[in-house]
Every structure is written in structure tokens, then in C-alpha cells.
Amino acid sequence: MTTRLRVRLAAESLGAAGLLAAVVGSGVMAQRLTDDVALQLLVNAAATATVLGVLVSSLAPLSGAHLNPAATLAEAVRGRHAWREVAPYVVAQVVGAVVGTALANLMFGLPALHLSHHERAGAGLWLGEVVATAGLVLTIGLLRDGGRAALVVPAWIFGAYFLTSSTSFANPAVTVARAFSDTFAGIAPASVPAFVVAQLVGAAAAIGLLRILEVPTPESTATRESAA
């Protein structure tokens, strides 16, 4: 493993840990501050989107700040990320996400890892995950200016918290890690596989849409013409 790859994997793990600390920690805090479920969701969404923006801005120069196996797979399918790095990225993201969940649990005096009993199942929720993940991957794929990602990606996540029935997990690593916290943000382990499948379906749908929507850049057109 090269030094450069180690740095990228460390950045992905750190980012995933920070993201889950925000998702889980803000959920616990919201529950302790108010009994209003709508307000709890608003607090959770705002904290998650804010921290995600900071992480993307800080870590994008190091690793691309995928922080999401669905995003990494989509980038690889589209030829924007090396396939040989997909598995290491995914492992780093999942490990970091679980560590972040444990950190959040410990901060609030809970067991580091405790399985959630929050069942999240049903066609409507699965469709919500398809929509949330497709929107996320589509947003990332259509960005021409990488500097805007720190604003646009969190904006999608914040909105998708409320426009989807599933409250927008949109990330297999996040989904797996949230199974280890029996709190507001948790998901029962039995509900995880269907959510992950729905997320991968959403990513695949976004890739298909990107192939339709993307317009060749002048550079890519010139490259093809010179090759011909």
C-alpha cells in the first residue's frame, strides 16, 4: 500500500467517523432536549448537514471525501476512481463509521456499541432510500466545480431528510454503523440489508441518468477527435 493511498484511506475513515458522530450524537441530544419529533428531526438534519459540509470541504483535497460506498462505487463505474481502490475505500468508510457511532454513544453515557431495535422496513421506506441515494449520487456526478460540493451535497442531504420517507440514510456505511446505536438515529440490524440494496439501486439509477444528462466537455471532445 502506497503512502498516498494510506492518507486517502485515513481521510475516508476520519470523515466517516465524524459524520456518524454527528448523525448519532445530534439524534441523542435532540431526544434529550425535546419530545417534539419534528424538532428532533430538524436538529438531526441540521447538525448532520453542517458537519458534512465541513468534512467535505476539509477532506476532499485528500481523498475526494466520498465517505460513502455508494458514491465510491458510482465514481468507479464512471471511470473517475480506480477499481483497485474501491474495496479499501469501502472498508475504511465502514470502519470509520462504526468508530464514529461508538464515539457518539460514549459521549452520551451509552454503551459503545449496542444494537438498535428501531425497525425500518416497508416498500415506502425502501423507495425513499432509492430516491435519497439517487439524488445524492446524481448531485455529485453533475457537479462541474468540485468546490461547490461542500455546499450542494449537504443541502441535498438536509432536504432529503424531510422529503423522503426513510429520512435519507443514502449511504451503506452509515446504515451499517447506525445499527450499533439504539437511539434516535438507529436502525435494527434486520432492516439493514434491504436499505443497502435500495441504496445500491438508487446509485445505479443515478449512474444511468448521468449517462443521459451529461454533455461532453470541450476537453473530452477534443481528446476523442484527436484519437480518431
Task: Output the pLDDT for position 146.
Answer: 61
Q: Which domain holds residue 76?
A: 3-214
pTM here is: 0.91
Q: Is the pLDDT of residue 111 over 90?
A: yes
Average pLDDT over residues 16-26: 98
Q: Is the pLDDT of residue 222 over 80?
A: no
Within a domain: 225: no
Q: Is the pLDDT of residue 46 over 50?
A: yes
Within a domain: 83: yes
Compute, in degrees rounded to 10, the torsion defined by CA atoms 101, 174, 41, 198: -150
Within a domain: 222: no
Within a domain: 106: yes
Burial zone of 161 (CB within 10 Å; 0-12 exposed, 13-18 middle, 19+ buried): buried
Average pLDDT over residues 177-191: 98
The C-alpha cell 425502501 sits at: 126
Within a domain: 227: no
Total structural domains in the chain? 1
Within a domain: 197: yes
Dihedral sign (CA 169, 174, 179, 183): negative
Output the domain CATH number for residue 77: 1.20.1080.10
* pLDDT tens profile 122-163: 999 999 999 999 999 999 999 865 678 889 999 999 999 999
